[in-house]
Amino acid sequence: MNKRIVVVLSILAVVVGTPPVSPAGPKNDGRPDGGTLGYGEYGRPSTLDPITSNEMVSLRITELVFNGLVGIDEKQEIVPELAERWEASKDSRTYTFFLRKDVMWHPKEGEEAKPFTADDVVFTYKIMMHPKTTTPLKVRYEFIESVEKLGDYGVQFTLKRPILNALAKFSFKVIPKHGPSHPLYLTREDPFVRHPIGTGPFVVKTITTDREIVLVANENYFKGRPHINRFISKPFADQNIMTQALMFNAIDMVVLVNPRDIPELQGDKRFVLQPYNALSYAFFGYNVRSPLLADKRVRQAFAYAVNRQEVLDSFFNGQGTLVSGPFAPGSWAYNLDVRPLPFDPQKAVALLRQAGFAPGPDGTLQKDGKKLTLSLKVPIEKESEAVKRVVLAFQNYLKNIGVAIKVEFKEWQAWKESVFQEHDFDIIFASWVFDDSADISSLFHSAEIGAWKNNFGGYSNPEVDGLIVESKLTLDHEKRRTINRKLHTILAEEAPYTFLWTLTNYSGYHKKLRRVAIHPYKFFSFADEWFIPAADQK
Amino acid sequence: MTGAPLLEIENLRTYFYSRSKQVFIRAVDGVTLSIARGETLGVVGESGSGKSVTALSITGLVSAGPGVISGTIAFRADGVEHNLLPDLDQYVRLKARDGRIVEVSKDETGWRKAVERLMAPLRGKEIAMIFQSPKSALHPFARVGDQITEAIRLHTRAKGPGEAKERALHWLERVKIDSPRLRFDNHPYGLSGGMCQRAVIAMALASEPSLLIADEPTTGLDATIQSEIVGLLAELKAEFGIATLLISHDIRAISRLADNVAVMYGGTVVEHGPAPDVLAPRFAPKHPYTTALLASIPSVQNVRDKGYLTVVEGEVPDAVDLPRGCRFYARCNRVTDDIRDKCANHEPELREVMPGHHVRCWLCAE
Amino acid sequence: MTRYSQIAGEGRDASDLPVWRSADTLDLAYVGYGLLIVALVLVSYVLGVFNWLPHDPEQIRFDLLNAPPGSAGHLLGTDFLGRDILSRLIVAIQAYFLPGLVAIVISLVVGTTLGALAGYRGGEVEVLVTYVNNLVDSFPRLVLILLVIAAFKADIYYIMVIVGVTGVPVVASLVAGKIAFLRQKHFIEAALVLGLPSHVIVLKHILWYHCGPLLVIRATIGMGEAILIETSLSYLGFGVQEPMPSWGNMVQAGANYFFQGKFWPSTAPALAILLTILGFHLLGDGLNSILEDRGGK
Amino acid sequence: MKLAALRPVTLVLSRELALTALLLLGVSFVVFVILFLAPGDPFSVLLEGQMPSHEARAGVRDALGVPRTWYVQYVSWLGNLLRGNFGTSIRTGLPVFGEIVRVGLSTLYLTLGSMLVTLLIAVPIALHSSVRGATPLNRPFTLLAYLVSSLPVFWLGYVAIYLFSHKLGVFPLVSAASASADRAWLYSLLPICVLGIGNGTVSEVVRYLREELSRVMAEDYIRTARAKGASVWRHAFKEGLLIPMTEIIASKIPFILGGAVIVEQVFNWPGMGRMAWQAAQDRDFPAIMGIVMIAATLVRLGSLLQRVVYVAVNPRASKQRRGAGWAE
């Protein structure tokens, strides 16, 4: 499940901060430098720059190579990165960033390292928004009206309208003005996308003939030289083989271990299985345009019919928690008072009866001659065991209460078109990955219905719309919290999705790696802190 | 021991085993022949009478197994006597069920090994062969000259490729190929049938063998070429006097080349004697088959005598299912009542009716 | 020679035994095995159709994931959803039946047509057909399939069409070769002299009498190819899709647990594939040599 | 080879080259037609992660300067092909041609190696059973050849890895580049053997070689050779072994390339097969077009080579009109 629909939203920021600025050069934290870390990737990166790339593999690389103006730490707090401090205007339409003066770009081969300046920030924004640039990011920055530099080390962004949590949006990675060969836009033909230079802790050194990407420590990283000398990203085409490779020391780390391999690794003393909480949850999404699914009792019935705990336990070794509502658990917006619906087939049947469905001759329920038969569309992936399991289990459960589910596997592209464009489906199985668990407006607001919008199910409910808008407008944290809790309750009850669970992600790595912390959705944000004891560096 | 014949075949039997019919095909069934040094023995007979198989049996080239060969073939070259048929029975195992042989399993490998071991020093060197349809007898991919050179280098004391090539050219001239130097570099497909046959002959003679087996050398060539080849063979005979086993159903060729003639029928020799006698239509005593055979040759002689050509009625007996009595009985037009019973049920002996002239017929019994 | 004489005369009643008696025992064994497999396939197809199965192939058992053979009445164990492998093996035949048929029909019909045209008409037509054959032969089958999947969709029928088309040249050359051979034997001229209309000659005498066995053999082999291709594609994720079981996607799903020492989920279907295709091959080979043996003598 | 033999070779070679070119043209057209008829839009790949609007796609289209009518597209594409420009991969933005050449080499290495393995297995069996006939010795081997030809290759790969890497630890599990130089070849050994055994052609190779060899063994000229006491092998080699071998291998290249797709996945081999799979997934049309073209070219070159050998060996070949080359 490495391909996910990524909804990117942001969170409320603490307004101003001036953190200590650690000098460039070695981190003097007494931890040893050196050693190599090879990690396995399932699939190969398309490009290595933060702008044109669009999948997880690249995301991890760019996290190592680039920095944003601001960063987001494990606790979802905004922390300074390239900008050492910032100010927001009263009307929160202008944001001013004051940049560090000690940041140098990775040197281009044969050239002197250039300093990082405001020009680069402006350049990055401009190139990002250029029509010819191929990037998934554009839509996320349409809220910015203009950007201008204030001297070499100051940038001011002007927003079209004040938006919530604007600050987090400025965590976008900055690329150097002298990087791309074309000054105006960036396409995948540009050599820069394969030999990017950034400000980050690691420098892209080579791409081997086997498409292994070798990164080396950036000696003068402004947060201090990272401990580990070399990061090597090794592509695999088969997850089983990848796990084998880990177990036979061909690689030192697998960022996201396949659930089925967890038992095998757990038993092994040589490895550490480190859970990290991904801000995500899996769900069955319903197309409420379908007359059969328009009635919320039907959707609720489905929720009751599925024994989610059983699925979680037997397929994922119980590595995860059930969710009851639209917010990712662990987020402050999540309403713990709402309990996940229990497994209760009788109730399910009862609900369907109320909704007017009666068992037909062949056992499947039907309502005035119309059978309760629904199509469940799933994208084809080579490594799709988990998906298959859940989907087929779902089908099985619903069969027990007399609902016929037709499972259809379609290629990724086709699937996306039929779900987000043609809306030709009844149910989908997918999961959202948030970088902020609190803003769900694009999922359930009726304004988000339409081609390539995220409210693919066409769910619309004035009350929900109202609450969403309200929560966006209130800046008082407590108020928003109560509003979100209300939203949670309503959506849980309305069941536009059957909310399933959030899985605990496990990264497996050789125990020689120390101080490993993994960012929920950026993974390698803290890689410069990792280290390998001198003894194990070999 | 100059008196002793070069090749003595004693009661040779070559059977093929047909799995699909589970029976033996008795291709050669008790042939007895002998060739003296310098003699040319002609073997005549309809196709299917076992002529070729006899020849192949001599050189151990009978390929289609599983089959069995028995009898003795004694070959005396440069003072050594070779028995060309060591006891090969040991390689054959018969599985009989209620009297009939249901399966013949043959240790091909052992059999072949034995034969090859024996034949290696003889084949090509002492016994050379000429085949019918010369075009297919030559290696299609190799140059004619090289094929002859190979034979020379294998079997003669020619030193070095240069000399071998010279000798090869020499032989090509001997067999009257026009512009031999040119032909030397030709591939078989470049040559006419006649030329190919000449080349084959050259190849055979090149190793200076003491016995030459010519298996239907003129078959598959058109008439004029045939006579040319026969002429060539005649000259070569006069020149070298190599003992030759000449197999052919072309009586005229035989009459021109052979000193003695053996007439084969149904896998065995029915008449054997000096060429003139055997081939003379009116000579008596004579086997009815020979008479019939001779009568069927288109020749001035025949036409003058009868004004028409006769044919040998009936068919060659089935090699699987040979008659109990005289093999020719079914077709014989000279059976008289007093011997009919014998003809039908008892096979006549091949007996010497005149010095050096043998006939296998009840008519010549007394 | 007495040793052989006893059977010398006994050819009479022994002549013309039925093929099966004259043939080499091992060939018979091959054919026997092949036929057995074919029968098995057909039987399990019927079983599948009428749903006479040991278990419900769809039934998920959360408590029996990848259970070893023999556990809880599952003869071959269960798969990654706790479904009965044996039942699924049986049902899986259906995944191939129609698609495989499509592939075979395409390659046979188109192949024989082209082959017959080339062999019978000769000349320009032959050159053209040769060109087409070489053209088709230039595409590595799997790569072409990937292309089509990329272009259209991972539908088993699309795939089987490709398998069929790429199977055409073999059939075409078989048929054309046979016809060329018959020409050498002046078989066709003879027929023409008899005044037979050419469609009769081609259809009845050439195809039916002389190519029949060849084509049957090709058909079985084609089926085998179809199965193997589907297996490979299943591994790539493009084969027959769940919940429809196919031997391919069963091997694929099972193989995920191979390194954890759970062999049966992948081995059972793999063996099914192995034995079936082996059967098809041997059937073809056995028939071949028997018929040749017959023709030879 | 003697000069006399050279002339026909060059002659036929030129004819073959022309044919090859013609065929490749056909290939390119087929490929193009397939992709042109394809529904959907390869360019949406670029916008993955975001839900692209049609305008956005059109924008990309123009940005990439894609002409709209099919023949313009085809002609321009073909023109580029001839100039060695296969376009740039939509996914990675790399020039397709260079990319394919890079991965193509490793695929070539894999396929050639596995061909060798196939022959090493098939030839002895074929020789033995054609010369000796079916014996208790070669029967089981023949059967074995059939057996392995019916294996699903990726499963064979898993078994091999499980046995040799997992249990015995004989072979390293990492790709050549990162393995230390001395073990690199070791790593490549396993996939080569697996592909060589499991590409499903062993049985056919055995069968074909056996038949051809026994046919030639029955030829008159072999009998002549024996009659003159020459080595049968020297005479039978060319037509009985060399030619059939080249023929069958040339004709099996497509299958072996197909097998490579799978084996490269299993063994993490950085080759064309993996690229093809990736391209198929992403609908990276330029890439997959290029791959099919290159693969087809390889196949053609194979058969070209086979023809050259054939002509070089058989002086007559240049005389005959090139028949369909029916396998008979």
CB contact under 8 A, A311 and C256: no
D52-72 average pLDDT score: 58
User: pLDDT grade, residue A173 (50/70/90)?
Assistant: very high
Residue C14 has pLDDT above 50, yes or no: no
Torsion of CA B139, B143, B146, B147, to 10 degrees: 20
How confident is the model at residue B267, as a pLDDT?
84
Residue C202 has pLDDT above 60, yes or no: yes
Q: Which of residues 256-285 of C touch D (CB under 8 A)?
A: 258-259, 266, 270, 273-278, 281-282, 285
What CA–CA distance (Å, rounded) separates B56 from D139?
Answer: 30
Share of chain A above pLDDT 70, in %: 94
CB contact under 8 A, C294 and B70: no
B177-198 average pLDDT score: 85
User: pLDDT grade, residue C9 (50/70/90)?
Assistant: very low
B110-128 average pLDDT score: 82
CB contact under 8 A, B19 and C22: yes
Q: Report whether A393 contacts C60 (CB < 8 A).
A: yes
A476-483 average pLDDT score: 84
H/E stretch holding B3 reads none
Q: Is D252 exposed, middle or buried (0-12, 13-18, 19+ CB in 10 A)?
A: buried
Q: How far does the CA of residue C74 sit from the closest CA of chain A (Å)? A: 19
Phi, psi (rounded to 5 degrees) for B102: -95, -25
> What SS3 class is residue A359?
strand
pTM comes to 0.82
User: pLDDT grade, residue D133 (50/70/90)?
Assistant: low
The DSSP bridge partners found for residue B262 are: B43, B272
Q: Which of residues 146-175 of C touch D (CB under 8 A)?
A: 146-152, 173-174
**Strand extents, DSSP E, B125-202:** 127-130
* Per-residue pLDDT reduced to its tens digit, A363-407: 888 888 888 899 999 888 777 788 888 999 999 999 989 899 999
How confident is the model at residue C175, as a pLDDT?
86
B249-277 average pLDDT score: 86
Site of tokens 């694929």: C252
* Per-residue pLDDT reduced to its tens digit, D229-251: 888 888 888 888 889 999 888 88
What CA–CA distance (Å, rounded) separates B155 from B124?
Answer: 7
Phi, psi (rounded to 5 degrees) for B104: -115, 110
How confident is the model at residue A17, as a pLDDT?
39
How confident is the model at residue A286, as a pLDDT?
94
Q: Report whether A169 contacts A10 (CB < 8 A).
A: yes
What CA–CA distance (Å, rounded) separates B73 from B117?
Answer: 16
C236 touches chain A (CB under 8 A): yes
A66 closest CA partner among A171, A168, A185: A171
Helices (H), D218-271: 220-227, 232-236, 243-266
Candidate from B70-74, B299-303, C25-29, C61-65 with smallest mean pLDDT: B299-303
Average pLDDT of chain A is: 85
What does each C-alpha distance from B334 to A510, B263, B362, D141 come to in angstroms? 106, 18, 10, 61
Q: Report whether B267 contacts B321 (CB < 8 A).
A: no
CB contact under 8 A, A395 and C243: yes
Q: Which residues contact A245 (CB under 8 A, 6 or more apart)?
A: A40, A234, A236, A251, D173, D174, D268
User: How many other β-carbons are positioned within 10 Å of the β-carbon of residue A359?
Assistant: 15
CB contact under 8 A, D220 and B120: no
What CA–CA distance (Å, rounded) separates A240 from D158?
Answer: 10
Q: Report whether A430 contacts A317 (CB < 8 A).
A: no
Residue B223 has pLDDT above 90, yes or no: no
Residue D65 has pLDDT above 60, yes or no: no
- Chains contacting D with at least 3 CB pairs below 8 Å? A, B, C
What CA–CA distance (Å, rounded) separates A478 from A474?
Answer: 9
D57 touches chain A (CB under 8 A): no
Q: Report whether C196 contacts C202 (CB < 8 A).
A: no
- Tell me: cis bond preceding B66? Omega within 30 of 0 counts: yes
Q: Is D123 exposed, middle or buried (0-12, 13-18, 19+ CB in 10 A)?
A: middle
Q: How far does the CA of residue C222 sit from the closest CA of chain A (Å)? A: 26
Q: Report whether C176 contacts C214 (CB < 8 A).
A: no
Rg of the Cα trace of chain B?
21
Candidate from C161-170, D280-289, D293-302 with smallest mean pLDDT: D280-289
**Strand extents, DSSP E, chain D:** none
CB contact under 8 A, D254 and C137: yes
How confident is the model at residue A148, as a pLDDT?
92
Which amino acid type is present at position C65?
A: L
What CA–CA distance (Å, rounded) separates D147 from D200?
Answer: 9
C223 closest CA partner among C175, C172, C160: C160
Residue D213 has pLDDT above 80, yes or no: yes
Residue A20 has pLDDT above 60, yes or no: no
CB contact under 8 A, D280 and C248: no
User: pLDDT grade, residue A201 (50/70/90)?
Assistant: very high
User: pLDDT grade, residue C295 (50/70/90)?
Assistant: very low
What does each C-alpha distance from A204 to A216, A217, A454 come to in angstroms? 7, 9, 35
H/E stretch holding C70 reads none
Candidate from A56-65, A520-529, B300-309, D199-208 with smallest mean pLDDT: B300-309
Instruction: Judge A/B contact: 3 or more CB pairs < 8 A.
Output: no
A128 closest CA partner among A115, A150, A147: A147
Q: How far does the CA of residue D328 sit from the closest CA of chain B (Å)? A: 18
D313-317 average pLDDT score: 75
User: pLDDT grade, residue A498 (50/70/90)?
Assistant: very high
If you write DSSP's letter for every residue of A109-147 in order, what string do you get? Answer: TTSPPPBP-HHHHHHHHHHHH-TTS--S-GGGGTTEEEE
B102 touches chain C (CB under 8 A): no
User: pLDDT grade, residue B1 (50/70/90)?
Assistant: very low
Instruction: Please tell me which residue, A33 or D2, carries the higher pLDDT value.
Output: A33
Instruction: Please tell me which residue, A438 or B278, carries the higher pLDDT value.
Output: B278
Site of tokens 């082996």: C278
Q: How far does the CA of residue D213 sit from the closest CA of chain B (Å)? A: 15
Give the orientation angle of helix A462-473 with respect to helix A477-494, to 10 degrees.
160
What does each C-alpha distance from D104 to D174, D201, D291 come to in angstroms? 19, 22, 9
* Per-residue pLDDT reduced to its tens digit, A306-351: 999 999 998 888 888 899 988 887 777 888 888 888 999 999 999 9
Measured in residues, chain B has a length of: 366
How confident is the model at residue C270, as a pLDDT?
93
B243 closest CA partner among B205, B200, B293, B190: B205
- Tell me: cis bond preceding B285? Omega within 30 of 0 counts: yes
D161 touches chain A (CB under 8 A): yes
What does each C-alpha distance from B203 to A412, B146, C294, D236 come to in angstroms? 73, 10, 38, 18
**According to the 3-state scheme, what is the secondary structure of A271-315?**
EEEEEEECCEEEEEEECCCCHHHHCHHHHHHHHHHCCHHHHHHHH
CB contact under 8 A, D274 and A237: yes
How confident is the model at residue D161, as a pLDDT?
87
| Chain C residues close to D161, C-beta within 8 Å | 259
Share of chain D above pLDDT 90, in %: 10
Tokens of D36: 């042109």
* Per-residue pLDDT reduced to its tens digit, A300-311: 999 999 999 999
Site of tokens 């006069």: B238
Candidate from A47-61, A442-456, B106-120, B189-203 with smallest mean pLDDT: B106-120
* Per-residue pLDDT reduced to its tens digit, B330-366: 788 777 777 788 888 888 888 888 888 888 888 876 5
Tokens of A46: 């398309």
H/E stretch holding C210 reads none
**Hey, of B131, B139, B247, which one would you mutate to test binding to chain D, going by the most D CBs within 10 A of its CB?**
B139
Query: What value, to the nearest 5°, has the Cα angle with vertex C196 and ends C194 and C199?
Result: 155
A279-293 average pLDDT score: 89
Q: Is B94 exposed, middle or buried (0-12, 13-18, 19+ CB in 10 A)?
A: middle
A130-150 average pLDDT score: 85
Residue A472 has pLDDT above 90, yes or no: no
Residue C296 has pLDDT above 50, yes or no: no
* Per-residue pLDDT reduced to its tens digit, B31-63: 888 888 888 899 988 877 888 888 888 888 876
Residue D182 has pLDDT above 70, yes or no: no
Residue C151 has pLDDT above 70, yes or no: yes
* Per-residue pLDDT reduced to its tens digit, C261-284: 888 999 999 999 999 999 988 888
Alpha-carbon A20 to chain mean position: 29
What CA–CA distance (Å, rounded) separates B282 from B293?
Answer: 13
Average pLDDT of chain B is: 81
How confident is the model at residue C267, as a pLDDT?
92
| Chain C residues close to A310, C-beta within 8 Å | 62
What CA–CA distance (Å, rounded) separates B302 from B309?
Answer: 7
B361 closest CA partner among B292, B305, B308, B314: B292
How confident is the model at residue A348, as a pLDDT?
92
Site of tokens 């369907």: A352
By Cβ distance, the residue of A136, A193, A210 closest to D270 is A210
| Chain B residues close to C294, C-beta within 8 Å | 20
B344 touches chain C (CB under 8 A): no
| Chain D residues close to B63, C-beta within 8 Å | 218, 223
What CA–CA distance (Å, rounded) separates A78 from A81?
Answer: 9
Rg of the Cα trace of chain C?
24
Residue C234 has pLDDT above 60, yes or no: yes
Candidate from A148-157, D23-32, D280-289, D300-309 with smallest mean pLDDT: D280-289
CB contact under 8 A, B131 and D227: yes
D172 touches chain A (CB under 8 A): yes
C15-36 average pLDDT score: 72
Q: Report whether B151 contacts B237 (CB < 8 A).
A: no
What CA–CA distance (Å, rounded) separates C113 from C117?
Answer: 6
Which amino acid type is present at position D184?
A: A
Which amino acid type is present at position B133?
A: S
How confident is the model at residue B146, as a pLDDT?
87
Instruction: Please tell me which residue, A210 or C17, carries the higher pLDDT value.
Output: A210
What CA–CA distance (Å, rounded) separates A311 from A299?
Answer: 19
User: How many other β-carbons are positioned within 10 Å of the β-carbon of residue D238?
Assistant: 19
Tokens of A349: 């049947």
CB contact under 8 A, A311 and C80: no
Burial C162-185 (b: 16+ CB within 10 A, else e): bbbbbbbbbbbbbbbbbbbebeee
C80 touches chain A (CB under 8 A): yes
A46-60 average pLDDT score: 86
